[in-house]
Amino acid sequence: MTDVDDLTPVQPGLYVWQGDITALRCDAIVNAANSGMTGCYVPNHRCIDNCIHTFAGVQLRLYCEEMMEAQGHTEPTGQAKITPAYNLPCRYVLHTVGPIVGGHLTETHCRQLADCYRSCLSLAAENGLKKRRVLLHFHWRISFSERESSGDCRCDGERVSGAERDDERGEGHFQRVQGPRQGDL
């Protein structure tokens, strides 16, 4: 377990850390969630969404399911929800749906990702998460064929443009996505 209080800031209030976010003691971590907010639907998949829901315990899936049922619709890209962390060492999990980049990175993708950050930071401030801050975690997804079975997926059960089913890896529909190249950033 890593405690954020034991880390050295690179500048006041800013920490750079690489590791298992499900083992980080801080105010909140950010989950790159699917639009259903109830975790990955591919059993034993090692994406961050599934890891967070698995290590938090079944209580988190139940809480998210009830929250989304009350909401009555899937979560739009760029917005965020806060939940208790249950069995994780952090206090809360901020769930946000990032853009799915299929092909070239666009201005819309960049705006949606910025909306994710803003939504998470706003939720953190609204909930008084100031002392030990929030871990913001996002990564660019790459083509599923370039990853092992533990690769990233969009596994919300919906077919999306360019999606294909991979029967060897589960029942979900995987979207082949490619992250930006160095010059795109």
For 111-120, the pLDDT digits (tens) are: 999 999 899 9
Contacts for 22 with CB less than 8 Å, ≥ 6 apart: 29, 51, 52, 55, 56, 88
Burial letters for 106-118: b for 16+ Cβ neighbours within 10 Å, e otherwise?
Answer: eeebeebbebbbe
pLDDT at 94 over 60: yes
Pick the range with the lowest mean pLDDT from 56-70, 96-110, 152-166. 152-166
Q: Name the maximum alpha-carbon separation found in the chain.
A: 48
How many CB atoms are located within 10 Å of the residue 19 CB? 9
- The owner of tokens 């760029």 is 78
The confidence score (pLDDT) of residue 176 equals 28
- Please state, in angstroms and rounded to a whole number, the distance separating the CA atoms of residues 108 and 113: 9
The pLDDT confidence band at residue 135, using thresholds 50, 70 and 90, is low
pTM of the model: 0.73
